[in-house]
Structure 1
Amino acid sequence: MATLTTFMSSVILILVILCPSIHAKPSKGIRAAYWPSFNSFPASSIQTSLFTHIYYAFLLPDPATFKLTITSEDQTKLPDFISSLRALNPPVKTLLSIGGGGNNATVFSEMVSTKQSRQVFINSSIEIARKYGFHGVDLDWEFPADVVDMSNLALLYKQWRQSLDQEAKASGKPRLLLTSAVYYASEFTVYGGPRSYPAGAISKYLDWASPMCFDYHGSWENFTGAHAALYDSKSNISTDYGIRSWIQAGVPAKKLVMGLPLYGKSWTLRDQKVNGVGAAAVGVGPGDGGILLYHQIVDLNARTNATVVFDNQTVSYYSYSGSTWIGYDDVGSVRLKVRFAKKMGLGGYFFWALGQDKDWILSHQASDTWKYGGGSV
């Protein structure tokens, strides 16, 4: 009996060493992703084991009334989204996201400008979220244009959170979550003049903020770039800089959820023999405006027998074949970025967007790395 016990103990020890995830306690945190309602990827196909929160993207406020607009398509997709996710196991929390890259920033600026208009917007968001059964609401205003917008944004966060607290108390239901997608850095000068996000209001009133750590480079430039570079020794256009700027501004690390892209950017090289990061380009490459989804990149690389390179300076990948150059994230860079998020003490990460992965490869890598600290490459 003693011999058998000793033998079993040895087997268990070997398994623990070889398979750390067997004994590792899963790390709690936010593993989120946006579901674009305008794409064809069905919500019923989401692998909920890989996520904790899923965003419905997007609704927009009416330009005149500031109440959320429910299109005829939303009338079908909203209930289907909720019912589909409720039928999946394990369960995830759902958030209603408002805004997005296609929003009219002027409408948001007008909406936040008075207490009355803010309240109309807030009441509408709560009404819609409760009607369809969401667990929270999310604001993706791209982007407040000046210091006045930022000041009013702080007032919106405060008023919104107070309204959510009051509604929860009156209804006896759990309070709706309040989150917000934000620029990758806390201060910026693009899309307007110099301004800073209201870090104090974000810290006090939001459950978390989600810096969009991507789109650093693209079709507007005549050189190749890592559009979601973790590091950049030549500029402040990097995730490392952006996340640290948020923490330095006073937002607790645990209230930051770092964005990761499931797409890449492509260029057409000026000289096929000059093909590194920063190489001269004469325009965009394949894809919609030089944007390729991860599953498209994997397939294109295989079809063209492209050369794939991991760039340890930016912690990203790029591939080239002929004059086509693509910068993107792959398994190794996703693992390192999620490790960075954990090391920084962040609250979690999110992906833009569901339906862009390839057989859930990057989603699996991120989830395993977050939960167990490792994951395979």
Structure 2
Amino acid sequence: VSRLNATTALSLQLAHKLMCYYNSKAQNRPNVGKFSVSDIDPDKCTHLIFAFSDIIENQLVPTTVNDVQQYFKFNALKQRNPLLKTLLAVGGEKFGTEKFKTMAGSQENRQLFIQSVIKLLRAFNFDGLDVDWRYPAEEDKQRFTELCKELETAFVDEGTSSNQERLILAASVSAEKSTIDASYEVEEIAMHLDFINVLTFDFHGPWENVTAHHSPLFQGSQDTGDAIYSNTASALEYWRDQGAPEEKLNMGLGAFGRAFSLSSNSSAVGAPASGPGEEGCYTGEDGFWASYETCLYLDGVQNHLISDQKVPYATTENQWVGFDDTTSISTKINYLKANKFGGAFVWSLDLDDFRGEFCNQGKSLPTTTTAPPTTTTAPPTTTTALPTTTTALPTTTTAPPTTTTALPTTTTAAPTTTTALPTTTTASGSGVCSGPGLVPDPTNPNCYFNCDAFGNNNPTCCGATLVYKDSCKCCDFP
């Protein structure tokens, strides 16, 4: 079975949201593992999320001084794709809970944080915030709800007073049933969040003493006790059943494998393991292999399908690794669409075979031109409106906005060294532009003109299966 990076497979099949994380630490990796903003293809994802920012004295701040320049370059990608939305993530796996706990601990601290969020996002032209608090303790459950509520209210008020499209609010949340129960008032936070990114990977890993896939789609036949909930389908359906609208829920896809060192001759699922596998030669973490490292280590090795969980694994010498390939990603996307969840997100772009040197798929971060995801979901414009469309991970009780997002009519993105346009059109556009904004191409319903203040037309086209609709200033299905 040919291996394919997660974003490539998604671009081939997904017409919903595809949110892609950029791990800013990847720019410090050695040799071909080095990944920076300039390596991002802005046409392959509907949303890009910059990971991560920091909290100091209850205020949102860049993690490093170097991040400031990266913010400018990151948001300048929207000059090449006017449909693209960008978010700034705060927190993450290694961030800890103390700063979140202190910030959310009082209304005064939360308000200080919220005002700093709006100031930072607007200063660098981000479109929204992704709160990645792993994970609120039981005593912080209600405070997390208050934080979400107050962020949404402030975003709505600021958007109205400044006459700008309001900032998007997302959260990255646990996929483990016990943590969901302990950490979240699901129905309440879902009312205030536009997107809920369910971290449907790392259910298992080399911190355990037997082999298991870190991101299975379904329950395995060997699963017992709480392990029956440790799979993608169970997590998404539990969020939905607890009251989160499915159109707000996004499935997590990890562009990496989790590797174990085998401690016996057995290499099946559930085989004894002595700890993490070898470290990735570029990522440098024991038992963690980027997609391209997995392809490198498994070159010529046969994949094995875990039939009940719909995901593959492979072994090489005493190394056992579970990962996703083209087939398993296709199966997950079919499940996502059949259950009308909102979309998917990928952690992270730098873990894909972005140079196309290892997985024999050509230059990665999809080279295919067949209908990449181009539609996005507009955030609610009031404090009570729920985002519409039947595409999110958790459940819905109220119909939210639509799956398309209004296109920006002006840009404040910082200057960038590239001005490449997304897709070209043969129409000249002469005489169409009378000022800045988006104007339909009268000769081609698939295309539009992104007019600037000087009357330049900047011809652009939607994805192959979409048309431009002037009523919403967006690309949508015919």
TM-score band, normalised by shorter chain: 0.7 to 0.9
Mark the runs of 5 or more structure 2 residues left unpaired by the alignment: 1-12, 28-34, 280-284, 375-478
TM value normalised by structure 1: 0.84
Quote the residue 2:397 is aligned against: none
3-state DSSP of counterpart to 1:180 = strand
TM-score by structure 2 length? 0.67
1:323 equivalenced with 2:310 (yes/no): no
Q: Which protein is richer in helix relative to its size?
A: 1
Amino acid at match of 2:188: A
State how far apart, in whole Å, the 1-side matches of 2:234 and 2:365 are.
Answer: 24
Segments of 5+ residues of structure 1 without an aligned counterpart are 1-25, 373-377
Instruction: Work out which of the residue numbers 280, 295, 300 in structure 2 matches 1:298.
Output: 295
Q: Is the 8 A contact 1:95 1:134 kept in 2?
A: yes
| Matches of 2:132 and 2:183, distance apart in 1 | 16
Within 2, Cα distance between the matches of 1:110 and 1:159?
A: 16
Taking structure 1 as reference, are residues 216 and 365 closer, same or farther at Cα in structure 2, changes over 3 Å only? farther
- Tell me the amino acid that sits aligned with residue 253 of structure 2: L
Letter in 2 for 1:188: S
Aligned 8 A contact 1:339 1:369 in 2: no
Contact 1:319 1:327 in 2 (8 A): yes
Of residues 52, 56, 59 in structure 1, which corresponds to 2:50?
56
Q: How many residues align?
A: 337
Partner of 1:285 in structure 2?
Answer: 277
Q: Distance in 1 between matches of 2:74 and 2:273?
A: 41
Q: Quick one: distance in 1 between partners of 2:254 and 2:218?
A: 15
Q: Check whether the contact 2:75–2:126 (CA below 8 A) recurs between aligned residues.
A: yes
Counterpart of 2:152 in structure 1 is 161
The alignment's C-alpha RMSD in Å is 2.4
Q: Is the 2:14–2:333 Cα contact (8 Å) retained in structure 1?
A: no
Match for residue 132 of structure 1? Answer: 124
Q: Is the 8 A contact 1:224 1:281 kept in 2?
A: yes
Q: Deviations over 1:329-369 (max 9, x none)?
A: 11111111111111111110000001111247686499979
How many percent of aligned residue pairs carry the same amino acid? 28
Q: What are the within-5 Å matches in structure 2 for residues 229-308 of structure 1?
A: 229-233=216-220, 234=223, 235-272=228-265, 274-287=266-279, 288-302=285-299, 305-308=300-303
For 1:1-377, what aligned pairs fall within 5 Å after superposition?
28-40=15-27, 41-62=35-56, 65-70=57-62, 71-83=64-76, 85-89=77-81, 91-146=83-138, 148-185=139-176, 187-189=177-179, 195-233=182-220, 234=223, 235-272=228-265, 274-287=266-279, 288-302=285-299, 305-359=300-354, 364=366
Distance 1:213 1:103, change over 3 A: same
* Cα distance in structure 1, aligned partners of 2:87 and 2:372: 21
Please give the alpha-carbon distance, in whole angstroms, between the structure 2 residues aligned to 1:369 and 1:108. Answer: 39
What displacement does 1:371 show?
5.8
Shift in alpha-carbon separation, 1:342–1:366, aligned structure 2, 3 A: farther
| Counterpart code for 2:236 | I
Q: CA 1:27 to 1:311, structure 2 compared with 1: closer, same or farther past 3 Å?
A: closer
| Whole-angstrom CA distance in 2 between matches of 1:129 and 1:155 | 21
Q: Tell me how far apart the structure 2 counterparts of residues 195 and 32 of structure 1 sit (CA, whole Å).
A: 26
Q: What secondary structure, in the 3-state scheme, does the structure 2 residue paired with 1:50 have?
A: coil
